[in-house]
Amino acid sequence: MAEFIRIYEENPNPREIEKVVRVLRSGGLIIYPTDTVYGLGCDITNIKALERVARIKEVKLEKANFSFVCHDLSNLSDYVKQIDTSVFKILKRALPGPYTFILPGSKSLPNPFKKRKTVGIRVPDNNIALEIVKQLGNPIISTSIRDEDEVLEYTTDPELILEKWDSLVDLVIDGGYGGNEPSTVIDLSEDTPTVVREGKGDLEIF
């Protein structure tokens, strides 16, 4: 049975955030709100938790396209190779926001991702997600929770999410209704930015 807690985005309760962080530190999986759709996440430093997420998503961990949710751009250099000024300006302009940026991965990526050439970075414009990552002290993995329903690709109601995911995760955050449009994915790992997936983000800012 997953724990179900209500957290308000305008002013996240530090005690509730601490509760979420404790679950993450103990290797738990959470479902949490972002500025787009609800995400499934765990601590990127916990291999067993990462493996659980990969099993749920039915992918090999080494090949999984999980994004790293960061609090800001300050710890980017821990996971990404040195990027030039033009790329950094794009990131500064767009984040926090509904974008996933694919960047060249550094050698200090967590073990399962060591062989990856690139990594997806997210800094969502959502106080709940940002406070969790800030208190945890390192990024969490993010992968969208998709729905089998062909009409509704993403479940937006936290109570319905709990119903479906109750036995698979340790904690579900009710942060209000989520969106049903995923992030815009932009590949910045090559010389020319490439839009991989058009989602919620406004492409005109580029």
Domain coordinates of the chain in residue numbers?
3-205
Rounded to two decimals, the pTM is: 0.94
Residue type at 115? K
Residue type at 43? D
- For 70-101, the pLDDT digits (tens) are 999 988 888 999 889 999 999 999 999 999 99
Average pLDDT over residues 14-42: 97
pLDDT at position 123 is: 97
pLDDT at position 107 is: 86
pLDDT at position 95 is: 96
> Which of 106, 102, 93 shows the shortest CA–CA distance to 67?
102
pLDDT of 31 strictly over 80: yes
> Which of 62, 98, 91 shows the shortest CA–CA distance to 76?
91
Q: Which residues, other chains included, contact 67 with Cβ-Cβ below 8 Å and sequence gap of 6+?
A: 100, 120, 121, 122, 141, 142, 143
pLDDT at position 153 is: 65
pLDDT at position 115 is: 85
Higher pLDDT, 206 or 112: 112
- For 40-60, the pLDDT digits (tens) are 999 999 999 999 999 999 999
| Residues 106, 144: Cα–Cα separation, whole Å | 24
User: Which of the four pLDDT bands, split at 50, 70 and 90, describes residue 14?
Assistant: very high
- For 120-178, the pLDDT digits (tens) are 999 999 999 999 999 999 999 999 987 655 555 678 899 999 999 999 999 999 999 99
Please tell me the least confidently modeled range out of 141-145, 149-153, 180-184, 193-197.
149-153
| Residues 138, 93: Cα–Cα separation, whole Å | 22
Q: What is the 3-state secondary structure (H, E, C) of the chain?
A: CCEEEECCCCCCCHHHHHHHHHHHHCCCCEEECCCCCCEEECECCCHHHHHHHHHHHCCCHHHCCCEEECCCCCCHHHCECCCCHHHHHHHHHHCCCCEEEEEEECCCCCHHHCCCCEEEEECCCCHHHHHHHHHHCCCEEEEECECCCCCCCECCCHHHHHHHHCCCCCEEEECCCCCCCCCEEEECCCCCCEEEECCCCCHHHC
pLDDT at position 114 is: 86
User: Which of the four pLDDT bands, split at 50, 70 and 90, describes residue 5?
Assistant: very high
Fold of 3-205: DHBP synthase (3.90.870)
